[in-house]
Structure 1
C-alpha cells in the first residue's frame, strides 16, 4: 500500500490590522483638514479663482519658468567646466575650482542676489578703460545689471557650484576601465569625455540634477527681494494693493505645485531614458 505524502501546508498572507487602522486614521484627519480649508471663509476661494489665471500672475509665472531654464542651463555648462577643472592634474585649475565651490556654496543665495543687485555701490561703471589712451568703453552698472540680470547671475553662479559637485560625482562613478579601453583605441582626452565618460555619467548625474531643477524653480521666489519679476514678485505686487495676502499666496502655491509636478514627471522620463541600457545589462547579469 502506497504511503500518501502529507500535503504541504498552505501559507496565508500575513494580516496587517494596524495598517488598516492607520489608513483610516490618516483618511479621517485628511478629510477633516480638507473640509476645514474648503469651508473656511478666510481662504477667500473666490479671490483665488479670480487671480489664478490673471495676466499679471501668468506673466510672473512665465518669468519664473524662463529664469529656471536659463539659470539651470548656465549652471550645468559652468558646472561641467568647474568639475573638469576640479579633476584636473593642474594645481592652479584645481584650486580655482575648489575656491569657486567653497565661496558660492558658502554664501547664502539671498545674500548673493542682493550683492549683484547692488553691484553699483562698488563699481558705478563697468567696461573697458585703459589709462593714457582714448579707450574708454564703460556703461553704468545700474543700466547693465538690471533686476533680471542680477537674478540670473545670483541663481546661476550659486547653482553652478552644486552642479560641479554633481557632475564630478558622476564622472568619478564611471569605471576607470572605460577610459583605458578608449585610450587603447587612440582616443584623446576630449573624445573620451564626450563619447564615453559623459554619456555613462549621465545615469548618475540626471537624478540629482532633476532635484536641483525643482529646487531652482522654488529658489526663484527669492528674487522677489530685488523685484526680479518672477511669480512671487507678481503676487506681492497684487496683494500690496488689494491686501488679499492669503488668497494670493495660495495662487502662488498652486502654480508652484503644478510646475513642480510637471518637472517631476520630466525627471522620471529622463531617468528612464538614460538608464535603459544599464538596466538591461543588470537584468542580463542577474539571469546569468
Structure 2
C-alpha cells in the first residue's frame, strides 16, 4: 500500500521472536569437546617420544658408525646399481605390460590365452625364484639358437656370455614387473568410457590411430599414478638381486657386514635410510603425477604440501586474532 504524500510511517517494532533469534545469532558457537581425541593424541605423542628417545640414546645402533658408512664409496656404488636396475626394469616392465595388456584385450584367443597365462604364472611365482632360475639358466641351456622350429638354426650364441649379473637382474625384475604392469595398463584402458571407442570408430579412424591418439592418452590418467605407485615396490624388490651376485645397495651393505661383523646394525640402518629416501622421492613424484592427471577430472586440484602449510598458518593467524578479539 502506497504512503500518503508527506506522511512517513514509523518502522515496525521487532517482535519478541525476532529479538530472540538475534540473541541466538549473536551467541558464539562453541566447538564440540572431544576429550577422547585429546587423550588418544597425548598417548600417541608419548609413545612416539619414547621411540625417538630410544632410537637416539640406545648405543646398540652405533650412530657414529652409521655416519661413517652412510656416504662411503662402496655404499654409493651399490646405490648407483640399485638406481640403474630400477630405471631399466621400470621402463622394460612398462613396455612389456603394455604389450601384454593389448594382447589380453585383443580379439585373438591365442594372444588372450598366452597373456593371461603369463600374468597368472609370473604373479604366482616369487620373484626370488625367478631370479635364481634365470641365474642358473645357462645350466639348462648352454646355447640358444634362432631359426625354424624343429628345423635348422640361423644363428646361435652362448647364453652364459650374455647373461651377466646385471642382465639377469634387469630381465628378472622386468619379467616380474611386466605381469603387474599389464593389469595396471589393462585397468586403465578399460576405465576409458566406451563412448570414446564408439565415437572414434564412427569417424572411421584406424584402430592403431584410435588407440594412440584417443584411448591411450585418456587411459594414462589411471595408468601413470598407479604405475608410479608400483615403482615403490620395484625399488624395494631390487634388494633381491644380491642373491644373483649383483652388489646393489643391500648387497654392498651385506658384503661390508660380513667383513666388519660389528657394524651389521649400522649398515642395516644405512640401507634402511637410503631406501626411505628413494621411496620418499618416488612418493613425491607420485603425488605430483596424480595431481597433474587429476586436471579435468576433479573440480579443484588437491593442495600441495606447501599449500597446506600456508593454509594452516592462515587459519592459525585467524584463530589467534579471534581469540584476541574476545
* TM-score (norm. length: structure 2): 0.81
- The alpha-carbon distance between structure 1 residues 134 and 87, as it changes in their structure 2 partners (threshold 3 A), is closer
Q: Deviations over 1:240-278 (max 9, x none)?
A: 101111110000000000111111001111111112122
Whether 2:202 is the aligned partner of 1:184: answer: yes
Q: Does structure 1 conserve the Cα–Cα contact (< 8 Å) formed by 2:146 and 2:153?
A: no
Conserved 8 A contact 1:224-1:232: yes
Shift of 1:281: 9.4
Please show how residues 142-153 of structure 1 align to structure 2 within 5 Å: 142-153=160-171
In structure 1, the residue matched to 2:314 is: none
Alignment of 1:118-133 (within 5 A): 118-128=136-146
Mapped pair 1:255 → 2:267? no
CA spacing shift, 1:177–1:55, aligned 2, 3 Å: same
Q: Match for residue 115 of structure 2?
A: 97
State the partner residue of 1:138: 157
2:75 maps to: 57
Secondary structure at 1:240's aligned position in 2? Answer: helix
CA distance in 2, matches of 1:134, 1:168: 36
The whole-number CA distance in structure 1 between the counterparts of 2:32 and 2:300 is 35
Any idea what the Cα deviations from partners look like across 1:194-244, whole Å, max 9, x if unmatched?
111111111111222122100000000011111222101111111110111
Give the secondary-structure state (helix, strand or coil) at the position aligned to 1:279.
coil
CA positional deviation for 1:38: 1.1
Alpha-carbon distance between aligned partners in 2 of 1:132 and 1:166, rounded to the nearest angstrom: 39
Query: Deviation at 1:146?
Result: 1.5
The verdict on how the C-alpha distance between 1:86 and 1:241 changes in structure 2, with shifts beyond 3 A counting, is same
Deviates more, 1:64-73 or 1:4-13: 4-13
Match of 2:214 in 1: 196
**216-225 vs 7-16, which deviates more?**
7-16
Find the counterpart in structure 2 of residue 3 from structure 1: 15
Deviation sequence 1:29-66 (CA, Å, 0-9, x none) = 11111111211111111110011001110111111111
Task: Check conservation: 1:231, 1:252, Cα contact below 8 A.
Answer: yes
Please list, as runs of the form range in 1=range in 2, the aligned pairs for 1:102-113 lying within 5 A after superposition. 102-113=120-131
Residue by residue, what CA displacement relative to the aligned partner does 1:56-90 show, whole Å, maximum 9, x if unpaired? 10111111111111101001111011101101111
Aligned position for 1:208 = 226
> Which ranges of structure 1 fall in alignment gaps of 5 or more residues?
283-288
Q: 1:135 to 1:250 in 2, by over 3 A?
A: same
Which residue pairs with 1:285 in the alignment? none
| Shift, 1:129, TM fit | 7.4
Counterpart in 1 of 2:44? 26
Give the root-mean-square deviation of aligned CA atoms. 2.0
Q: Work out the number of aligned pairs and report it.
A: 281
- Higher relative CO (CA 8 A, sep ≥ 6), structure 1 or 2? 1
1:116-138 CA distances to partner (integer Å, 9 max, x unpaired)? 00001101223447899796532
Secondary structure class of the residue paired with 2:160: helix
1:278 partnered with 2:309: no
> Are the equivalent residues in 2 in contact too, given 1:148–1:229 (CA < 8 A)?
no
Q: How far apart, CA to CA, are the structure 2 residues paired with 1:194 and 1:227?
A: 41
> What TM-score results when the alignment is normalised by the length of structure 1?
0.92
